Amino acid sequence: MSKPSVLITGASTGIGAVYAQRFAQRGNDLVLVARDKAKLAALAERLHQEYGVAVDILPADLTQSEDVATVETRLRDDAKIGILINNAGIAQSGGFTGQTAESIERLIALNVTALTRLANAVTPRFVQAGEGTIVNISSVVGLAPEFGMSVYGATKAYVLFLSQGLNVELAGKGVYVQAVLPAGTYTEIWDRAGIDIKTLPQMMEAGDLVDAALVGFDRRETVTIPPVQSASSWGSLEAARQGLIADINQAKVADRYQSA
């Protein structure tokens, strides 16, 4: 049986480029999406030469609705694509008061809207086929308002929630959804956001992050957090969340709110 093609957004550099190399090594054909056509073409040529896989490039600015539509069409029409790596994302420097309407709009357009639209475009075909995989790149920042990256963190909390929700909806239909939560990782994202990498504590190498994420992928984990050292930390949080859900009674106000 031939392996599925993998469409990777944000494949021109960083975590996305590592995913591209790792899947090429596994023998999967690729469709690479990002804005920088020259970088995509160079990577595609290198991976084709090195691993013999077919690599298409699909240049697109995923903050632009028409460009997202082009990628949606490819995801709907190309039946060979069986894995979507929703990786493209940007960060922001500074606090909330310093951010502008335009920078917030761009961040949400890429990290939230494009990611959701692409997952939505491919899902009906995956459900019809009874198989398919969506990997959504979130961040540990989405677990930690304390980090002070409120809008970025909110987009990543959205990505985690969306992935968990899609798992509930789609796992029974043969579709696997994985959320990957990196912590600080050496890529261009910091420089692009105007954050001096030298001011940050030591971070993870992108290759190590993706290799760990792929261990989770091969195990069909729904949430993979390579920097969390003890699996029980996440397990406890999940158990607490399930306890909270069990404690919700929509017909009755809790006793502590019955009087002033």
Ligand X SMILES: NC(=O)c1ccc[n+]([C@@H]2O[C@H](COP(=O)([O-])OP(=O)(O)OC[C@H]3O[C@@H](n4cnc5c(N)ncnc54)[C@H](OP(=O)(O)O)[C@@H]3O)[C@@H](O)[C@H]2O)c1
Q: What distances in angstroms separate CA 249 from CA 119, 149, 173, 240, one per listed residue?
A: 33, 33, 30, 16
Residues 22-61, interacting with ligand X (CB under 6 A): 34-36, 39, 60-61
Compare residues 41 and 129 and give the one whose CB is closer to ligand X.
41
Q: How far apart are CA 124 and CA 131, in angstroms?
A: 10
Q: How far apart are CA 165 and CA 138, in angstroms?
A: 14
Compare residues 91 and 175 and give the one whose CB is closer to ligand X.
91
Compare residues 61 and 72 and give the one whose CB is closer to ligand X.
61
Q: How far apart are CA 209 and CA 212, in angstroms?
A: 5
Binding flag, residue 136, ligand X (CB under 6 A): no
Binding flag, residue 85, ligand X (CB under 6 A): no
Q: How far apart are CA 156 and CA 162, in angstroms?
A: 10
Compute how many other C-beta atoms are within 10 angstroms of the C-beta atom of residue 130. Answer: 9
Q: What single DSSP character describes residue 112?
A: I
Among 139, 163, 178, 224, binds ligand X (CB under 6 A): 139
Strand order in the sheet with 175-180: 55-59, 30-34, 5-9, 81-86, 132-137, 175-180, 223-224
Compare residues 4 and 16 and give the one whose CB is closer to ligand X.
16
Structure tokens at 109: 């357009």
Binding flag, residue 216, ligand X (CB under 6 A): no
Q: How far apart are CA 43 and CA 183, in angstroms?
A: 25
Binding flag, residue 81, ligand X (CB under 6 A): no
The stretch among 11-19, 47-55, 71-79, 170-178 that binds ligand X (CB under 6 A) is 11-19
Residues 160-189, interacting with ligand X (CB under 6 A): 182, 184-185, 187-189
Q: How many CA atoms lie within 13 A of 195 on its CB side?
A: 19
Among 4, 6, 12, 163, binds ligand X (CB under 6 A): 12
C-beta of 140: minimal distance to ligand X in Å? 7
Compare residues 40 and 175 and give the one whose CB is closer to ligand X.
40
Binding flag, residue 132, ligand X (CB under 6 A): no
Number of residues that bind ligand X (CB under 6 A): 29
Compare residues 81 and 189 and give the one whose CB is closer to ligand X.
189
Active site residue 152: yes
- CB-CB contact of 98 with 48 (8 Å): no
Q: How far apart are CA 110 and CA 191, in angstroms?
A: 18
Q: How far apart are CA 126 and CA 123, in angstroms?
A: 5
Binding flag, residue 92, ligand X (CB under 6 A): no
Among 28, 57, 82, 89, binds ligand X (CB under 6 A): 89
C-beta of 33: minimal distance to ligand X in Å? 6
**Which of the residues 19, 51, 152, 176 is marked catalytic?**
152
Catalytic positions are 152
**What residues line the site for ligand X (CB under 6 A)?**
10-16, 34-36, 39, 60-63, 87-90, 110, 137, 139, 182, 184-185, 187-189, 192
